[in-house]
Amino acid sequence: MQNFIQQHGYLALFLLAIVESMCVPIPSEVTFAFGGAMCTTAIAGDSPLNIVVVIAIGAVGSLVGSVIAYEVGRYAGRPIVDRYGKWVLLTHKDLDTAERWFARWGDLSVFLGRVIPVVRTVISVPAGLAKMRRGHFAVLTTLGATIWVGVLTAIGYALGANWEHVAGAFKVAQYPIIAVIAVLAILGFSHRIRVVRSEHRIQRAVDESKKN
């Protein structure tokens, strides 16, 4: 990823921001911290990036990717659950819960979700499922993404030549984090299978009782 950013500069940062905000687990912590380091001559040599442009590109890219994920959730959410609910481990009860949650906490969830690792990658889809107002979603996403990208870029800029040492430490530290996430994902997956199977059994029983 660092080579991609070094070779393509602003375009690479823009594309990575879009893809990460479309629920692809690309670590923006690395992307924009390195982008900030590329704003220094210690890393970029005689052609450093502009820190203001990096932050702006990151915010706009995050907005574009988030809007795409939002629209997928808004228009494809319930049809997907209707046809493939047992495969994607979602039920209409889950969608109803998401709508109630966003009706009460939507603004805060989207804004804070933009500055929380992992959550920021997936928050757009439930916002779309809940049909959160597009204007609110766009404004809060832009504000949160600007803060997140700005902080990461500033950290990378401050690190400068020390970026390589920090990146090495990050790579070592990420393995236990990945292991914990994997265990939690397996437990969550198992729980969702039980919940969805139970919901579908209840729904089938209701449908059969209506026929009789």
Flag whether pLDDT at 175 surpasses 60.
Answer: yes
User: What are the domain boundaries of the chain?
Assistant: 2-81+89-163
Query: How many CB atoms are closer than 10 A to CB 78?
Result: 15
The pLDDT score that the predictor gives to residue 177 is 58
What is the rounded CA–CA span in Å between residue 46 and residue 188?
49
As a whole number of angstroms, the distance between CA 140 and CA 85 comes to: 30
Spatial contact of 58 and 32, defined as CB atoms under 8 Å apart = yes
Which positions ≥6 away from 67 have C-beta within 8 Å? 124, 137, 138, 141
86-107 confidence digits (pLDDT tens): 555 566 666 666 667 677 766 7
pTM of the model: 0.72
- CA geometry: angle at 133 spanning 76 and 61, to 5°? 75
Tens of pLDDT, residues 183-195: 766 776 676 667 6
Query: Cβ atoms within 10 A of the Cβ of 124, count?
Result: 30
